[in-house]
Structure 1
């Protein structure tokens, strides 16, 4: 990687960004991961307080950086990481809201697909509908890691929504009927950017709340307590 490159949003100041990067939405979660799991850590970004770090995990170089909330934010950071900094494996680690009865707080979800209510795909001018899917190589490896740790996971379709406070009270039930496991706000854009660039992407989530049962974790737990998901993602490096 050319360590002299920078963008308006990412200024590494000569620090290398690894080919594999973990992408939590919360920059403080990126800081927690770097300080808890990585060795020889160097911070590569602080622009807009979107903290990014590079270090090693079990001898392998890995980076971690926050992306903020929503597909516009994810699309900017992931595009720059891919096209400017040469990242090849982008692993979103985030929280999600469950909408199926079999999911509970702290369960782990692997996004095999990411449905969306966003119009992000329209930029590609495709003559049909595009299915936003994970990199199978990353998904397969993540599932094997989870099985090795005896961690039950739910693999399936999530919804990447542009809407957090929805004026349509029936929307969640409609997505539930289509088998959507949970709702988050970034992965579809990540999958589209990765597909268009020919690189790998995967979304891993911990259930932070159950939308239909009105159950939720605390902000502090969302920042630091999702360690099983974090450790699966780190093993993918």
Structure 2
């Protein structure tokens, strides 16, 4: 499981049996332990595509094969409520920058999660009775580049949320033959005035999602 915030990695390490901090270089905390007798790592991937790309590549080199991002997203539809979940079925992205460097041209690579892994997450969250929406998200490279037309522009293209890393994770998983998916907690809603979730409610939703993700890992 990979998360953006090192504090979140530290918090979620408490869900593991005998967690061990195996990396703290540059603040990219990585904990390894067990969950229901399955060996699992919780790693920090930082903010944005370039950051998660580095962490993904290095975890892959160390033997990682299955990756689930647990993060946050801003909803682009008013009916999606704070604290609920978005399970991405795909991620839109701007084709330049990092993506261009990997492909060498503007050829598009479909940024979609592994179907079986995403389906397992859908089933597990549904079994727990959590409210989720499955749909496409937009992976933005610039957190503060939003303008007054942002919500209309990206929601009109079929996106239900915005975050910063899923497209890179799914894109690289396709290139490298790894499996990946994501579960995103709705931390704010850009379509209904930009309201934000409380810290307590966010933490509760994150912990619940983490337990579901770890359960899916234990069944793989």
Please give the TM-score of this superposition, normalised by the length of structure 1: 0.85
CA RMSD, Structure 1 to Structure 2 (Å):
1.6
> Shift in Å at residue 225 of structure 1?
4.5
Encode CA deviations 1:87-116: one digit per residue, 9 max, x unaligned. Answer: 000110001100112201001111110111
How far is the alpha carbon of 1:63 from its aligned partner? 0.4
Q: Is 1:94 equivalent to 2:110 in the alignment?
A: no
Q: Any conservation in 2 of the 1:111–1:204 contact (CA below 8 Å)?
A: yes
Secondary structure, in 3 states, of the residue corresponding to 1:150?
coil
Q: Is the 8 A contact 2:87 2:134 kept in 1?
A: yes
Does the Cα contact within 8 Å between 2:84 and 2:185 map onto a contact in 1?
A: yes
Partner residue of 2:196 out of 188, 198, 216: 216
Q: Which structure has more RCO (C-alpha within 8 Å, separation ≥ 6)?
A: 2
Q: Which moved more, 1:67-76 or 1:109-118?
A: 109-118
- For residues 159 and 24 of structure 1, the distance between their equivalents in structure 2, rounded to whole angstroms, comes to 18
Distance 2:146 2:38 in 1: 46
Distance 1:215 1:107, change over 3 A: same
Change (3 A) 1:118 1:43: farther
Q: Which residue of 2 aligns with 1:74?
A: 52
Matched, 1:44 2:44: no
- Bigger shift: residues 159-168 or 58-67: 159-168
Contact kept, 8 Å, 1:45 with 1:52, in 2: the verdict is yes
Partner of 1:189: 168
Q: Report which stretch shifted further, 51-60 or 144-153.
A: 144-153
Structure 1 residue 104 and structure 2 residue 91: aligned? no
Q: What secondary structure, in the 3-state scheme, does the structure 1 residue paired with 2:107 have? A: coil
Q: Determine whether 1:125 maps to 2:109.
A: no
Following the alignment from structure 1 to structure 2, what is the Cα–Cα distance between the partners of residues 225 and 155? Answer: 17
TM-superposed CA distance for 1:228, in Å, is 2.2
Q: Which 5+ residue runs of structure 2 have no aligned equivalent?
A: none
Distance 1:210 1:77 in 2: 28
Aligned-residue offset at 1:172: 2.3
Distance 1:225 1:155, change over 3 A: closer
Separation of aligned partners in 1, 2:126 and 2:200: 27
1:143-185, Cα deviation, whole Å (9 max, x unpaired): 1111211223111101110011125421221111122111100
Give the distance between the partners of 1:235 and 1:180, measured in 2 at CA. 28
Distance across 2 between alignment mates of 1:105 and 1:78: 28
Aligned to 1:142: 121
Unaligned runs of 5+ in 1: 1-21
Going from structure 1 to structure 2, the CA distance change for 1:29 and 1:101 (only over 3 Å counts) comes to: same
1:229 matched to 2:209? The reply is yes
Matched, 1:162 2:141: yes
Question: What is the CA–CA distance in structure 2 between the aligned matches of 1:193 and 1:87, rounded to whole Å?
Answer: 13
